[in-house]
Amino acid sequence: MLTQKMIQRLNEQVNLEMYSSNIYLAMSAWCANKGLNGSAAFLKDHSKEELSHAYKIFDYINETGAMATIEQINKPQSEFTSLQDVFEKTYNHELVVSKSILELVDVALSEKDYSTFNFLQWYVSEQHEEEKLFKEILDKFEIIGMEGRGLFMIDREIAALLR
Ligand code: FEO
């Protein structure tokens, strides 16, 4: 059985994951509008993945007999200065999500909720993968550069990361 504090923090995480989904969907639209179809496909796919992160917590809350609550989701940014700006923002956003997950882990421990602590381990590992993935993309901007066909090549490389 979850404590009220745990329920509230898990529900906030559901909201953050849904917000993440919308952030990446808005970025996908921006990329599609600029003809960056590889990045658009990658970000749309990642938007779906974020929804699966939200649903996993949603199901967990409901399975415990508590009730997941759906709140208003903040409007995501829709304009960016460049593709590099898009992916700098994805990486920074993932750092925010990681921090939030670690705070959730702290709450689980302080509430002596070892079941939720165990459940959250999947998210701890996932955030490691998410940070690694977006850092890898940022590195491509440094390695390939934006000169000449650089942007085209980066977009193609990002499309190849679709998982
Ligand atoms: Fe659900 Fe990308 O963190």
Q: How far is the CA of 147 from the centre of ligand 1 (A)?
A: 31
**Nearest atom of ligand 1 to the alpha carbon of 53:** 1
What confidence tens digit (pLDDT) does each residue in 127-142 have? 999 999 999 999 999 9
- The confidence band for 148, taking pLDDT boundaries of 50, 70 and 90, is confident
Letter for the amino acid at 14? V
Q: How far is the CA of 154 from the centre of ligand 1 (A)?
A: 22
Distance CA(30)–CA(57), nearest Å, equals 29
- The confidence band for 146, taking pLDDT boundaries of 50, 70 and 90, is confident
Are 25 and 44 in contact, with CB atoms under 8 Å apart? yes
Can you tell me the mean pLDDT for 92-97? Answer: 98
Distance CA(56)–CA(104), nearest Å, equals 15
Residue 113 Cβ < 6 Å to ligand 1:
no
Distance CA(111)–CA(1), nearest Å, equals 11
What confidence tens digit (pLDDT) does each residue in 32-69 have? 999 999 999 999 999 999 999 999 999 999 999 999 99
